[in-house]
Structure 1
Amino acid sequence: MQCYSESCFRLCFCPNDPYVIITNTCSCSPKFRGTFHQFGGNATKTSKSPLIGIRPFTLFSQKYHFPCIRTRYLFSNMAVSYLSQVEAQQVDNELFTEYAFSVDQLMELAGLSCAVAINKAYPLNKLTKSNGSVLVFCGPGNNGGDGLVCARHLKMFGYKPSIHYSRNPTKQLYKNLVIQCEKMDIPFLSDLTNETVNLSQSYDLFIDALFGFGFKPPVSLEFKSILQIMSTSQIPVISIDVPSGWNVETGPLDSENNLKPDCLISLTAPKLCAQFFQGQYHFLGGRFVPDALMKKYKLKLPTYPSHELCVLLNSSDDKK
């Protein structure tokens, strides 16, 4: 029996005993199949010493706690590191300083990789309801900038993007991105209050580019209505880097409008909250991390195939 609830780990910890390591998760043992069928194999006790410095986290809504491992082995022995909020900021800052990347340079690469990932998961010929119409919700920071770049490239790919920009930009970088989208005849929706009823009929996809890894709860009032639109709609939501409204490290917050994206596109490296992602597709994009930086931070990232700008980490097809 193939384990499929949580990406099929090569190494994980038994929820009933934090010192039991289960190493063969591809043949679920009957003992754990009833409650956590993603765990399995032959459980062997390896140590009675606590694992220092590793936080427990809760899987799904169950009240079982077990040590969180920072590197996970996904299908095909793919090792992936997960970053905390501080680590993500450190890597980002080092790219800007030590490696002399500019913000707009990384934003362009990130947004392009998101557009490529979306095209892979949701090709135009599959979006028949609204002929590839996509609504991009952009926030005021760099995550919103990624969304603007993504919208522009989706337009080049033949999609029909529209943009809801939550605030008028003040930085010239964002102003330039807005001008570029306007020059490509990408419409901007200033007010969604009169549009909400028609959204389900008007769009095939929602793209969540509100908040990135700099977000700290709670969600301000001006964004709650947008999150409600995305979380209550039947339209597939694609989140860029971090699902908006989630804690960057601990995942979904206890709220009635908890966002459950159908697709997550992590950038640079997945953040810790990505461990709680339950949607169809999880991609990694932002192919700009130098080997020396990976070595310094001990990052384990998958190898991008050939010239690809993104790599699929996990999909529902691999769980069947």
Structure 2
Amino acid sequence: INNPSPPPPTPPPVQRTLILKLEAAAIETELLTDYCFGRQQLVETWGHACAIAIARAFPLSSLSKKQPTVLVVCGPEQNGAVGLVCARHLHIFGYEPTIFYPKRSSHPLHQDFTVQCEKMDIPFLSYLPTEVQLINDAYNLVIDAILGPETDLSPEKEPYGSILLTLKQVKIPMASVDIPSGWDVEEANADGLRPEVLISLTAPKKCAAAFTGRHFLAGRFLPYDIQKKYELNLPQYPGTDCLTQL
């Protein structure tokens, strides 16, 4: 009797962890409408997780300068608001953040986050230091919260073209929120920033496939039904952590 050959092993499922721009917008809309998340709740959750990621990537004990100074550069849209929340939590964690927020949003939510930082005596700069000043003024690192996936502004538009040009010359470590500023959501851009750390929000965007630095994901709050609907196959989060390293 000829025994039939065993069937070939079933290949493991493809781990799809990257999302497109339209999917990111659709997921956020579902969170706000179908799941009744508030925008303030989402921004606060993201900003807090970003601060924790920064603290893990750049612990206070590892910073070489005398003061644990951090420059947080905020854009006009939601990513900038996340940067404001991140700065506030870093201040609570013992860091010394300074914020550069050249085009403040008129959105009441963003204004509230700004007031919270001001009330905690976090300084705001009226100009971006030059690359030489950034080093000589003893900043340990820069947080890029400028142009997120929701921002339709061209990075060439001022003041953002000049900001990116300056930050690309900086040699101190940099961390970007959600996508490095100057990158397309779905592909890397050689003219964009090159941070050492990337903190993806909710789910990594497609452009993150080209990122080679230390990569964190802040999205544990994402409901399972949404993960299943978009076939995200996101990694497990350890213990009670609100973020995981990819």
TM-score, reference length from structure 2: 0.90
Does the aligned pair in 1 maintain the 2:32–2:38 contact within 8 Å? yes
What residue is the counterpart of 1:235 in the other structure?
Answer: 172
> How far apart are 1:156 and its partner, in Å?
0.4
Partner SS, residue 118 of structure 1: helix
Q: C-alpha distance in 2, partners of 1:141/1:215?
A: 6
> In the TM superposition, what are the counterparts of 1:149-188 in structure 2 within 5 Å?
149-188=85-124
What residue is the counterpart of 2:219 in the other structure?
Answer: 286
Q: C-alpha distance in 1, partners of 2:131/2:115?
A: 26
Partner SS, residue 227 of structure 2: helix
Q: C-alpha distance in 2, partners of 1:296/1:229?
A: 41
> In the TM superposition, what are the counterparts of 1:263-274 in structure 2 within 5 Å?
263-274=197-208
> How far apart are 1:217 and its partner, in Å?
6.7
Letter in structure 2 aligned against 1:264: L
Q: Describe the superposition over 1:113-136 as per-residue Cα deviations: whole angstroms up to 9, x where unpaired.
A: 000011111100001224210000
Q: C-alpha distance in 1, partners of 2:61/2:101?
A: 27
Does the aligned pair in 2 maintain the 1:148–1:181 contact within 8 Å? yes
Does the aligned pair in 2 maintain the 1:285–1:309 contact within 8 Å? yes
What residue is the counterpart of 1:132 in the other structure?
Answer: 68
Q: C-alpha distance in 1, partners of 2:18/2:220?
A: 16
Structure having the higher helix fraction is: 2
Partner SS, residue 136 of structure 1: strand
> In the TM superposition, what are the counterparts of 1:1-320 in structure 2 within 5 Å?
79=15, 81-192=17-128, 196-201=131-136, 202-216=138-152, 218-219=154-155, 220-253=157-190, 255=191, 258-279=192-213, 281-313=214-246
Q: C-alpha distance in 2, partners of 1:106/1:270?
A: 16
Q: Describe the superposition over 1:35-68 as per-residue Cα deviations: whole angstroms up to 9, x where unpaired.
A: xxxxxxxxxxxxxxxxxxxxxxxxxxxxxxxxxx
Q: C-alpha distance in 2, partners of 1:100/1:207?
A: 30
Task: List runs of 5+ in structure 2 lacking aligned partners.
Answer: 1-12
> How far apart are 1:155 and its partner, in Å?
0.3
Q: C-alpha distance in 1, partners of 2:238/2:141?
A: 27
Task: List runs of 5+ in structure 1 lacking aligned partners.
Answer: 1-70, 73-78, 314-320
Q: C-alpha distance in 2, partners of 1:205/1:178?
A: 21
Equivalenced residue count is 232
> How far apart are 1:262 and its partner, in Å?
0.4
Letter in structure 2 aligned against 1:176: D
Q: C-alpha distance in 1, partners of 2:92/2:64?
A: 18
Letter in structure 1 aligned against 2:101: Y
> How far apart are 1:286 and its partner, in Å?
3.0
Does the aligned pair in 2 maintain the 1:217–1:245 contact within 8 Å? no
Q: C-alpha distance in 2, partners of 1:153/1:243?
A: 21
Q: C-alpha distance in 2, partners of 1:107/1:216?
A: 19
Does the aligned pair in 1 maintain the 2:16–2:231 contact within 8 Å? no
Q: C-alpha distance in 1, partners of 2:150/2:112?
A: 22
Higher relative contact order (CA 8 A, sep 6+): 2
Letter in structure 1 aligned against 2:223: P
Letter in structure 2 aligned against 1:234: K
Does the aligned pair in 1 maintain the 2:78–2:150 contact within 8 Å? no
Letter in structure 2 aligned against 1:300: N
Identical positions, percent: 46
Structure having the higher strand fraction is: 1
Does the aligned pair in 2 maintain the 1:108–1:146 contact within 8 Å? yes
Q: C-alpha distance in 2, partners of 1:145/1:108?
A: 9
Partner SS, residue 221 of structure 1: coil
TM-score, reference length from structure 1: 0.70
